[in-house]
A and B are shown apart, each in its own frame.
Chain A
Amino acid sequence: MASSQEHTVKAFDQDIGQLRGLISQMGGLAEAAIGNAMLALQRGDHELAAQVRADDKKIDAIQHEVERAVVRIIALRAPMANDLREVVAALKIATVVERIGDYAKNIAKRVPQIESEHRIDPISTLPAMARMASDMVRDVLDAFAARDPDAAIAICERDDALDDFYDSIFRTLVTYMVENPKTISQCAHLLFVAKHLERIGDHATNVAEMIHFAAHGTPIAERDRSDDVATSPFSSRS
């Protein structure tokens, strides 16, 4: 992405370093938020859920810090070429990571609404899906830190597996609702949780695309998805 050489004006390197540090920090918080939200959901732990919601404010605050840093760098350093692309990518990545944090918060918000005494079985498969999503977030931000567009592209490939996971959970939950209407409310919440996790994967993919753009100045060639688009009404791909 950037050349190995330092800028003649060293303070510029410090500014970029600070920006990258903020993104890593945000990513760490978002990843923790997903993990804690799912843990709270699994255990019916309202306190932990409340903590996730409170911690989301930290992610929002860092996002604003990133915005200020980017505006300052553009105004004071007039970045060009790969520097400019990286700064723009950082701004967009911060927005995306903030959205990921919102999804985790949204999952946490559902915890108190799910009756803990009649917890249905699919709730036990959701954490595996969450790990998959949260690993994508962690790895894509590692790729950003390492300025490694190839690693970023590899993460996009994993989004299909996450989509398949969502489809399977969708089917299971619909079956539950049909068989036992009493679970409809809980299933609806879990369906949203699964959808949020699926969206988190999409956002990780967006981050990967920005890392590619920052490195090469071109968008990732559109992956060929014609073979699996809308094959079932449960498909998460639209």
Chain B
Amino acid sequence: MSSFTTYFTSLFKGIKSLLTGMKVTIKEFFTPKVTECYPENRHTTLHVPERFRGELIMIHNEQNEHSCSACGLCQMNCPNGTIKIESEIIETEDGKKKKVLKNYFYDLGSCTFCNVCVMNCPQGAIKFENTFENAVFRREILVKKLNHEGSKMKEKKVAEQKPTNTNKE
């Protein structure tokens, strides 16, 4: 007799659990879909996380100034030889010799996005952006010059308080 009752209870339990499963899926059927329609939504709903490392950039402010002192730490720490810094020695007004950045080359094609360069920069001059549409047709294009044309190094904090001085220099 007990096997008789278990036969029917298991049958109805099975049907109930199947119906529960079907309820779950029909709810899923009507929920908003998670698919990203990528090329169409790149300017509307596309969300790339803030910390995603797409490419290395050098931070420039409105006066076209960066804070890279051309120390070369990033170049030395890069495991792939991705960064190449060209610097020159100039003489300042008060007769001191100073090393300034001439060209900051970054090869996106050999970068592994390990973030070691950003962590080692004493000035906080470089950072990773989340721009990810970097595909090009020739690998030469991937070698980028990160310092903008005509940019110069940011003055020390004393100078920063009087921004009018910077243009006179």
Are the chains A and B members of one assembly?
Answer: no
